[in-house]
Homo-oligomer: A and B are copies of this chain.
Amino acid sequence: MPHKSTNITLVAHAVSERERWRLYGHRGGVLWLTGLSGSGKSTLAFELERRLFATGYRAYVLDGDNIRHGLSADLGFSPTDRTENIRRVGEVAALFAGAGMVVITAFISPYRSDRASARKAGKSGFHEIFLNADLAVCEKRDPKGLYKKARRGEISEFTGVTAPYEAPESPELTIDTGAMTVEQSLRLLIDYVDKNFKLPAE
């Protein structure tokens, strides 16, 4: 996207990322969960946040429900609006990562190009986590009754039903949330975070 802004220069933060990492004992970064509605994004995000927080990580969830009441309250669910929503979330997630936090995002984020933009914003701290569950499984769970509504034609452009989900081609981690329990999935996520975010004690 071309920058419309002029007369601006990048300013270095007075407190460096590394100083923050040192204080917190872990790197900052983005755990970008992606998958169909019902694949477990929100459940895993909030449970992961709780477990990480309990073991000393500065973790924070950005999720569709809360972002859409604030930052993206002006956006709907058309492809253009979904793209802009994910663009904003990617930028905000990058800011949180820059502040040293482990930010967990829980968005369907169905388009590959949108996730690529979020990856670009998040730089080396971006980790794409594919929650891979069959549509049939997700539709059977249907925790919010949205698939039923979509099948009745009450929601237009519903991912997996009337709008595409473009599966990740090379995610950092794939979890078969269709077959695994929440506890098994969490174990994989926590191991991944410990391996990729924790700093050696000085």
Contact = CB atoms under 8 A, between A and B. Distances in A.
Interface of A: 1, 3-11, 13-15, 19-20, 23, 42, 46-47, 49-50, 53, 58-66, 68-77, 81, 88, 91-92, 94-96, 99, 101, 121, 144, 146, 149, 155
A168 to B, nearest CB: 23
Copies in the complex: 2
Given A13-B46, A14-B49, A60-B99, A7 B149 contact: yes
A94 B70 contact: yes
Contacts of A62: 95
Nearest to A154: B7
Contacts of A74: 1, 4
B144 A75 contact: no
